[in-house]
Amino acid sequence: MIPIIGLIAGIILGMFIPYNIPKQYSNYVAVAILAALDSVFGGIAAAVQDKFNMKIFLSGFFGNAMLAAGLAYIGDQLGIQLYLAAVFAFGNRIFLNFAIIRRYVLNKLSKKDIIKIE
């Protein structure tokens, strides 16, 4: 529940507090946001599996974002698009976590549709 509240709060803050990110930092911020979304979806997936741990969530949230931004920076310094590796890895994990969440929701909905006839 906490990851969902954080995601909603972040979206609301982003809508009402205008801030423009300079173009030279856009790759770093985009990859960091993708990494943070990966952590949010991972937190939700862990919550539906009753495995959520706040310390793991927070360390993954900030650690993944910093690692992804660092990869993008190193790639820029080397002249290669190293951030694409982070985009692929985090994008893949987001879809895997979404599949877990989707299965959980569908399972909950299908159990509600069952009518017992005796």
pLDDT band at 114 (very low <50, low <70, confident <90, very high): low
Amino acid 105 reads V
8 in any annotated domain: yes
83 in any annotated domain: yes
Closest CA to 36 of 1, 11, 73: 11
| pLDDT tens-digit readout, 33-75 | 888 889 989 999 999 999 989 999 999 888 888 888 888 889 8
33 in any annotated domain: yes
78 in any annotated domain: yes
Closest CA to 100 of 55, 50, 53: 50
pLDDT of residue 25: 84
118 in any annotated domain: no
pLDDT of residue 5: 84
97 in any annotated domain: yes
The model's pTM is 0.73
Mean of per-residue pLDDT scores for the chain: 85
Domain tally for the chain? 1
The rounded distance, in Å, linking the Cα atoms of 98 and 102 is: 6
Residue 3 has pLDDT above 80, yes or no: no
72 in any annotated domain: yes
pLDDT band at 113 (very low <50, low <70, confident <90, very high): low
pLDDT band at 95 (very low <50, low <70, confident <90, very high): very high
